[in-house]
């Protein structure tokens, strides 16, 4: 077991370095660098001449190490992330990117993980329910709904919800976590309720696709397991159907779902991102989108890295969880 865990950890570490490298390459692809943005800013808003601006930009380059070769720059960037949690400097926010991301990461994780939890619970329960009623009305209905949910663009669902909330229920401040009176208030049940009132569309939208996926996987697995001989044996011995399902079939059908969690997690983050961008709720999604539009490269690169790192982490956790549950995997 220790061996297996160590091996997975080493692989994860290598993946993280690779992911960081690709994020770095992506943010270095556009022409110009951080100092060029500064230079144009000085010329447009500061009213300086081109020479002055260029001199200032060069000073900034030397200060941030942007005049170094790419490899050195990458190492500096990596060192900042690992040792100090610094991802570079945001031009639009005039702050360290690490702090910016840190603030929003908590909310993103809360939203994505609750969407994940809800979609897993609901998806698995519905999957178990319909697998016992193969080709019945409820089964067909659930499949059709799952299909339609997977086909509707999430950004459009977000638009519809925003439209209904603003123009039907007259709910304003949809683009924040709290109504103004709660922003500075300490946490209380009312504040929590207000929070839920603001973020439910994101959890809902991110979770929808997950419910559909989990349901289909669970239904398929359970149907496979229900066809196995030991289930027939259990029934033949006169076991109650509920016990056959819950004690014998479901635990064995759950394994693929856990293995599959690693792939569902990025899906949740993407759903959260898509919904949050459209609704403008300040999580990582809108920050990422703005940074891309404004060419705020350290935010884009940092976030790309964070997203990928979260997925690597999610995969690692699901691998380890699976190893705990299934001895065949850890000795393989």
- In the three-class reduction of DSSP (H, G, I as helix; E, B as strand; rest coil), residue 262 is classed as helix
Nearest distance in Å: CB 251, another protein: 26
Interface pattern 277-296 for another protein (x via CB under 8 A): xx---------xx--xx---
Nearer to another protein, 66 or 239 (CB): 66
Burial class (CB in 10 A: 0-12, 13-18, 19+), 212: buried
Cα Rg of the chain, angstroms: 25
289: Cβ contacts below 8 Å, ≥ 6 apart: 277
- List the one residue out of 76, 112, 129 whose CA is nearest residue 199: 112
How near is the Cβ of 84 to another protein at its closest, in Å? 24
Least separation, in Å, of the C-beta of 304 and another protein?
6
Q: Which of 114, 261, 300, 318 binds another protein (CB under 8 A)?
A: 300
DSSP 280: T
Site for another protein in 165-184 (CB under 8 A): 166-167
**Of the two residues 244 and 322, which places its CB atom closer to another protein in the complex?**
322
Q: 5 to 64, contacts with another protein by CB under 8 A?
A: 15, 18-19, 22, 26-27, 29-30
Decide if 281 contacts 176 (C-beta within 8 A).
yes
d(CA 104, CA 109): 9
Q: Measuring CA to CA, which residue among 259, 295, 290 is closest to residue 273? A: 290
Q: Token digits for 190?
A: 């009312």
Report in angstroms how near the CB of residue 282 gets to another protein at its nearest: 16
Could you say which residues in the range 192-231 bind another protein, by CB under 8 A?
A: none
| Binding positions for another protein, rule: CB under 8 A | 15, 18-19, 22, 26-27, 29-30, 147-148, 150-156, 159-160, 162-163, 166-167, 263, 266, 269-270, 273-274, 277-278, 288-289, 292-293, 300, 303-304, 307-308, 311-312, 315
């Amino acid at each position: 077991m220790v061996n297996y865990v160590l091996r997975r950890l080493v692989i994860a570490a290598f993946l993280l370095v690779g992911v960081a490298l690709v994020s770095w390459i992506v943010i270095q692809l556009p022409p110009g660098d951080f100092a060029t943005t500064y230079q144009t800013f000085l010329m447009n808003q500061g009213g300086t001449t081109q020479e002055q601006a260029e001199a200032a930009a060069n000073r900034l380059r030397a200060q941030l190490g942007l005049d170094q070769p790419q490899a050195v720059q990458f190492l500096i960037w990596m060192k900042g992330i690992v040792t100090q949690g610094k991802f570079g400097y945001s031009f639009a926010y005039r702050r360290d990117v690490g702090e910016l991301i840190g603030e929003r990461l908590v909310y993103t994780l809360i939203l994505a993980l609750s969407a994940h939890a809800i979609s897993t619970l609901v998806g698995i329960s519905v999957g178990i329910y319909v697998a016992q009623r193969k080709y019945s009305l409820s089964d067909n209905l659930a499949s059709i709904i799952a299909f339609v949910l997977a086909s509707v663009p999430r950004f459009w669902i977000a638009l519809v919800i925003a439209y209904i909330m603003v123009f039907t229920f007259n709910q304003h401040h949809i683009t924040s976590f709290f109504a103004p009176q709660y922003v500075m208030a300490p946490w209380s049940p009312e504040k929590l309720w207000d929070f839920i009132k603001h973020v439910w569309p994101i959890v809902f939208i991110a979770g929808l696709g997950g419910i559909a996926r989990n349901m289909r996987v669970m239904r398929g697995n359970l149907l496979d397991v229900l066809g196995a001989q030991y289930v027939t044996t259990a029934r033949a011995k006169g076991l109650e159907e509920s016990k056959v399902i819950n004690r014998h079939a479901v635990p064995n059908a759950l394994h693929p779902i856990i293995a599959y969690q690693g792939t569902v997690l990025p899906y949740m983050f993407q759903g959260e991102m898509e919904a949050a961008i459209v609704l403008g709720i300040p999580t990582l999604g809108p920050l990422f989108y703005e940074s891309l539009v404004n060419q705020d490269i350290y935010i884009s690169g940092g976030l790309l890295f964070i997203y990928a790192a979260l997925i690597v982490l999610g995969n690692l956790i699901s691998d380890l969880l699976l190893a705990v549950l299934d001895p065949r995997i850890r000795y393989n």
